[in-house]
């Protein structure tokens, strides 16, 4: 960070010196050619304008670079917050192990994700979800965008909110308490569909399969592609259509 601040200071100093130099030269020339013809005066004025424009361009470029550097630094810190939090990593690793059929807690059932016996304290689940509620707030405030966070955080988000455990423990019983999670999931899926990572037909089909699975008390669960964490259990399928529209406003 010290090197970044030093670079920023140097650029601003150079911009100021550049402007002073142009002003000094133009003043000298104006005094020297005071009684000369208008053409010289025109060139001096042009030199002043170019000097000001050059300084403005340098300042804009510096502000843009500083903004991008600050945003990148913020994303790094945001990622560090996640990976250094033991509760987040515990939930993430456990859900991933279950998906990879390496879960030691459900060996008797062959690590069938439909009947996995994994369990977490509800406070840990709430904390995990709160992290992504914060992500949504930052997104709405335009501090971050899906272009920036999709590769880094999408899998971690959908792995959790589309897991049977998280849904049964928190999202199905208390959907209104996690409005930002429902909104983030919808808008993130819209983004991924818009950028060709999924299709609307794929999402609609996943919703229909999962809704049917829930209504039949698990009879059709085997039809769901569990490995596709982005589409396996869409939140639109876990509540009624009326409630979903009430929560998301869409």
pLDDT digits (tens, 9 = 90+) for 135-157: 999 999 988 999 989 999 999 99
Residue 111 pLDDT: 47
Residue 119 pLDDT: 78
Any idea what DSSP says for residue 109?
Answer: G
Q: Tell me which residue of 171, 176, 184, 190 sits closest to 136, measured CA to CA.
A: 184
What are the residue ranges in the chain where pLDDT is below 70? 1-69, 104-117, 217-227
Pair of tokens at residue 106: 């459900």
Residue 197 pLDDT: 94
29: which residues sit within 8 A by CB, 6+ positions away? 40, 44, 47
Residue 1 pLDDT: 46
Q: How far apart are CA 80 and CA 92, in angstroms?
A: 15
pLDDT digits (tens, 9 = 90+) for 106-116: 554 444 445 56
Name the average pLDDT for the chain: 77
Q: Is 138 exposed, middle or buried (0-12, 13-18, 19+ CB in 10 A)?
A: middle
Residue linked to tokens 């300042």: 59
Residues 87/124, Cβ–Cβ less than 8 Å: yes
Q: How far apart are CA 150 and CA 192, in angstroms?
A: 9
pLDDT digits (tens, 9 = 90+) for 1-18: 444 455 556 555 555 555
Residue 161 pLDDT: 95
Domain edges within the chain: 2-67, 85-248
pLDDT digits (tens, 9 = 90+) for 176-194: 999 999 999 999 999 999 9
40: which residues sit within 8 A by CB, 6+ positions away? 29, 33
Residue 190 pLDDT: 97
Residues 75/144, Cβ–Cβ less than 8 Å: yes
């Amino acid at each position: 960070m010290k090197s970044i601040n030093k670079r920023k200071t140097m650029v601003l100093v150079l911009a100021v010196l550049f402007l002073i130099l142009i002003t000094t030269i133009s003043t000298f020339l104006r005094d020297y050619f005071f009684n000369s013809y208008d053409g010289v005066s025109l060139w001096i004025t042009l030199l002043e304008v170019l000097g000001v424009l050059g300084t403005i361009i340098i300042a804009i470029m510096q502000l843009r670079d500083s903004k991008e550097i600050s945003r990148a630094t913020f994303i790094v810190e945001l990622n560090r917050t996640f990976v250094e939090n033991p509760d987040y990593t515990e939930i993430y690793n456990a859900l991933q192990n279950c998906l990879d059929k390496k879960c030691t807690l459900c060996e008797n059932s062959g690590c069938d994700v439909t009947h996995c016996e994994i369990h977490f304290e509800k406070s840990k689940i709430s904390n995990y979800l709160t992290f992504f509620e914060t992500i949504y707030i930052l997104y709405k405030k335009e501090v971050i965008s899906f272009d920036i966070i999709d590769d880094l955080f999408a899998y971690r988000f959908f792995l959790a909110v589309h897991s049977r455990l998280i849904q049964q423990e928190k999202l199905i019983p208390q959907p209104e308490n996690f409005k930002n999670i429902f909104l983030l999931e919808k808008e993130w899926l819209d983004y991924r569909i818009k950028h060709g990572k999924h299709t609307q037909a794929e999402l609609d089909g996943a919703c229909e399969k999962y809704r049917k699975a829930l209504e039949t008390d698990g009879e059709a669960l085997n039809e769901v592609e569990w490995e596709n964490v982005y589409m396996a259990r869409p939140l639109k399928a876990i509540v009624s259509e009326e409630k979903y529209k009430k929560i998301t406003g869409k």
